[in-house]
Amino acid sequence: MATPNTPLWEVFIRSRNGLAHKHVGSLHASDATMALQAARDIYTRRGEGLSIWVVPSTAITASDPAEKGMMFEPAESKIYRHPTFYEVPEEVGHM
Amino acid sequence: MYTQALNTAETDDRGLEDAAKDAAKAAQFQARIDAEERIEPNDWMPAAYRKTLTRQISQHAHSEIVGMLPEGNWITRAPTLRRKAALLAKVQDECGHGLYLYAAAETLGSSREELVDAMLAGKAKYSSIFNYPTLTWADIGTIGWLVDGAAIMNQIPLCRCSYGPYARAMIRVCKEESFHQRQGYEIMLTLCRGSDEQKAMAQDALDRWWWPVLMMFGPPDATSQHSDTSTKWKIKRFSNDELRQKFVDATVPQAQYLGLTIPDPGMTQDADGHWRYSEIDWTEFKQVLAGNGPCNRDRMAARRKAHDEGAWVREAATAYAAKRARRQTAQAAE
Ligand SMILES: [Fe+2]
Ligand SMILES: [Fe+2]
């Protein structure tokens, strides 16, 4: 008999250094409590973090890679959003 | 990793128009690979790329899981508490490696359960090295030193594999492997500095594991069936023989330091420093792959038993989650 499927969860961990929760991988668990415990065992065996989030994978809506041109083009053409676009005389020093 | 919502199944009956579109997509795909871009789960990929990677990553996952058996065999008999704690941690890491890899394989569209069931049914392979027995404590040292050493050689280039989820899983794995190899070498060093009997035990383990470890890199380049397309797709960055040679060159001085003899009387060093090993007995490799190694039946039986004995746990966890979900819906309705 085929094994029945167990739900998939995405795991996010916040490390010691105060950065945001970061996606580290995924795992299978029947509920949120077990997902948290499994995430502790699978992804934090060497002190990788101080906080864990688990999110059901089905709750994630992803952007479509086929549309990435249209999706991200508006940001690519706006070079004036970067500090290097502007000229500051050398005499002014670091800015 | 990632939702599979956007992964559409490849259909079999396609018109000519579709075939032409596919050829254009395939060319675009190869251009991305050539530009060292990473392919992500929801990107278009040729069906053969998906199939090759599903096979390779799931085999890799099965190997990590089955690989827990030969070492697990010694956890209760480790000579000291320090060795026992280290071995337990190592075996636990291997389980983690299996899980990272199953997760990477699943992003290609097969479920965890399908992949595991294929292994339990004997339809999927795992590394032939785990079909050899661990007869003495020195085997645990030799496995860490050589089997994990060979795995590291193989896995470092996979950190740059074209498929993103596999490459990322390999980065995690490689970070953890170094401890495995060092704890193994330390066991060997302790035995080699010990009594004559201990040193003889270390030599005996090396004698038994050396050739099977060289076979871990796979068949010689001249006869390997998967290498060409895997190289083109940047799944594989070095050939089997290249990796095997790197491994031998790295290992010979380590064996010399231990005062152990590599069981290959024909081995010589080239003018350019490379150690040339004798012909490998590929009939043994084929026999083990075909299921006739010393422990194939034991390993499969152990995996099936563990899976069957865990069935009630999976059932209970699923039933509990369903009950809780029903209760929550009922409370929300009140
Ligand atoms: Fe591993
Ligand atoms: Fe390992």
pLDDT reported for residue A75? 80
Confidence of residue A77 (pLDDT cuts 50, 70, 90): confident
Query: Bigger pLDDT: B128 or B333?
Result: B128
Residue A31 touches chain B, beta carbons under 8 Å = yes
Give the closest residue to B251 by CA, choosing from B138, B173, B152.
B152
pLDDT reported for residue B226? 60
Residue A55 lies in a domain: yes
What is the bridge-based pairing of β-strands B275-276 and A8-14? unpaired
Confidence of residue B95 (pLDDT cuts 50, 70, 90): very high
Contacts of B229 (CB under 8 A, 6+ apart): B48, B52
SS3 B304: helix
Q: Which ligand is nearest to the CA of B99?
A: 1
pLDDT above 50 for B1: no
Confidence of residue B52 (pLDDT cuts 50, 70, 90): very high
Token pair of B151 as six digits: 């795995």
Residue A22 touches chain B, beta carbons under 8 Å = no
pLDDT reported for residue B169? 95
Residue A18 lies in a domain: yes
Q: Where are the beta strands (DSSP E) in A1-95?
A: 8-14, 22-28, 51-56
Average pLDDT, chain B: 92
Helices (H), B46-144: 47-66, 68-72, 81-106, 112-120, 137-142
pLDDT digits (tens, 9 = 90+) for B274-286: 999 999 999 999 9
Residue A10 touches chain B, beta carbons under 8 Å = yes
pLDDT above 70 for B111: yes
Residue A23 lies in a domain: yes
Q: How far is CA B276 from the centre of its chain?
A: 26
Residue B6 touches chain A, beta carbons under 8 Å = yes
Q: Which of B2, B172, B321 sits opposite A62 (nearest CB)?
A: B2
Residue A49 lies in a domain: yes
Residue A77 belongs to what domain range? 6-88
Residue of A nearest to B95 (CA): A42
Please count the structural domains in chain B. 1
Cβ-Cβ contacts under 8 Å between A and B: the total is 79
Residue A57 lies in a domain: yes
CATH of the domain at B190: 1.20.1260.10
Contacts of A57 (CB under 8 A, 6+ apart): A7, A8, A9, A10, A26, B2, B3, B4
Q: Which of B43, B44, B96 sits opposite A45 (nearest CB)?
A: B96
Q: Which helix (H) or strand (E) holds B164?
A: helix B164-192
pLDDT above 90 for B294: yes
Confidence of residue B11 (pLDDT cuts 50, 70, 90): very low
Per the document, the length of chain B is 334
pLDDT reported for residue B204? 98
Residue B36 lies in a domain: yes
Please count the structural domains in chain A. 1
ipTM surpasses cut 0.90: no
| Residue B178 Cα to ligand 2 middle (Å) | 8
**For B80, what's the count of Cα atoms within 13 Å in the CB-facing half-sphere?**
5
CATH of the domain at A38: 3.10.20.520
pLDDT above 90 for B46: yes
pLDDT reported for residue B141? 98
Residue B7 lies in a domain: no
**Number of other residues whose CB lies within 10 A of the CB of residue B141:** 26
Residue B50 lies in a domain: yes
Residue B107 belongs to what domain range? 23-293
Residue A1 lies in a domain: no
Looking up tokens 């004559």, which residue turns up?
A: B196
Confidence of residue B21 (pLDDT cuts 50, 70, 90): confident
pLDDT digits (tens, 9 = 90+) for B172-211: 999 999 999 999 999 999 999 999 999 999 999 999 999 9
Exposed e or buried b per residue across B120-130, where buried means at least 16 C-beta atoms within 10 angstroms of its C-beta: beeebebbbbb
Residue B264 lies in a domain: yes
Residue B318 lies in a domain: no
SS3 B321: helix
